[in-house]
């Protein structure tokens, strides 16, 4: 559906995106992850045609998205901060959004306003940081756009409202499937939403994989060093901690049924690495160009 080839973007001498290739499929929820400064927000702004690429191709259904009004009707980008018409009342912002997005659902917007207890009579700039975030979330959800992008969607929201947003988004996605891209640093809060993970590093795609297949390769092994030695041969070790006589080692490899039996026979505990920790370990090792 959305195809990105050899995408480049620089700011002066700072190369932000470098020959980036990416395929985004229809009706899937993506988690876009990466450390600060690796180009995530730049990539999202280019996808939404809010900044111009230096070179490369971005096509939706084989059509270039740049200066393509039809393509822009299909993409809703909810930024992590600010809005162009911040001196307008929230009610007016929703009216503008309704005119922009062809799949806009006014009834659903009203439901969300009520759920989030949002006063639409207030000017956007007079709202708290959390309520400003809610305005963007409501626009993103009610737009029912074919491609909906959320950049740090939980900024300023308390835990109760964050979980309400995640639950309502998943519920609506089940009823109205579309492509959703979420860029966030609160990974474990939303990991259950992600069907596919994209990790960006130094302006390139470091990893793109389904969440299920990724988690099948992320393991903590806990046991005595002498018991772990044989298990760790030919394994990619991404973390290691020692507590007394016990080593806790993180590996990034699939474990066969035979290996699993051997691990348990040796009294080694095995558990999945949470997605957020896996992301930290992978990007730390890549950034330092080391494998433990």
247-286 confidence digits (pLDDT tens): 999 999 999 999 999 999 999 999 999 999 999 999 986 4
The count of structural domains within the chain is 2
Instruction: Tell me the two tokens of residue 162.
Output: 């964050």
CATH at residue 260: 3.30.70.2020
Domain end point (choices 193, 212, 231)? 212
Residue range 51-92, pLDDT digits in tens: 999 999 999 999 998 888 888 889 999 987 667 778 899 999
> Do the Cβ atoms of 103 and 143 come closer than 8 Å?
yes
CATH at residue 65: 3.40.50.300
Same domain, 199 and 279: no
Supply the range of the domain harboring residue 189. Answer: 2-212
Residue range 196-222, pLDDT digits in tens: 999 999 899 999 999 999 999 999 999
Same domain, 196 and 283: no
- Does the reported pTM lie above 0.85? yes
Same domain, 110 and 242: no
What's residue 170's pLDDT? 96
Domain end point (choices 159, 186, 212)? 212
Same domain, 238 and 187: no
Same domain, 153 and 64: yes
What's residue 82's pLDDT? 66
What's residue 230's pLDDT? 87
Same domain, 206 and 224: no
Same domain, 166 and 21: yes
């Amino acid at each position: 559906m959305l195809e990105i080839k050899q995408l480049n973007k620089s700011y002066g001498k700072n190369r932000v995106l470098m020959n980036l290739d990416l395929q985004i499929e229809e009706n899937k929820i993506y988690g876009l992850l990466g450390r600060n400064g690796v180009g995530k927000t730049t990539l999202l702004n280019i996808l939404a045609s809010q900044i111009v690429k230096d070179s490369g191709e971005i096509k939706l259904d084989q059509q270039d998205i740049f200066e393509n009004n039809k393509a822009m009707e299909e993409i809703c980008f909810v930024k992590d901060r600010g809005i162009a018409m911040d001196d307008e009342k929230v009610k007016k912002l929703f009216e503008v959004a309704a005119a922009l997005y062809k799949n806009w659902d006014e009834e659903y917007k009203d439901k969300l306003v009520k759920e989030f207890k949002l006063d639409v009579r207030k000017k956007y700039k007079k709202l708290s940081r959390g309520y400003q975030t809610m305005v963007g979330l409501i626009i993103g959800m009610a737009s029912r756009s074919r491609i909906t992008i959320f950049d740090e969607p939980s900024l300023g929201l308390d835990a109760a409202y964050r979980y309400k947003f995640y639950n309502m988004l998943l519920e609506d996605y089940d009823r109205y499937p579309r492509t959703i891209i979420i860029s966030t640093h609160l990974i474990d809060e939303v990991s259950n939403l992600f069907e596919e993970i994209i990790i960006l590093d130094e302006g390139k795609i470091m990893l793109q994989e389904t969440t299920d297949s990724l988690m099948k390769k992320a393991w903590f092994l806990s046991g005595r060093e002498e018991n772990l030695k044989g298990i760790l041969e030919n394994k990619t070790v991404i973390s290691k901690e020692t507590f007394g006589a016990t080593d806790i080692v993180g590996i990034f490899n699939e474990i066969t049924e035979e290996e699993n039996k051997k691990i348990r026979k040796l009294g080694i505990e095995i558990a999945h690495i949470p997605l957020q920790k896996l992301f930290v370990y992978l990007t730390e090792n890549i950034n330092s160009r080391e494998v433990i």
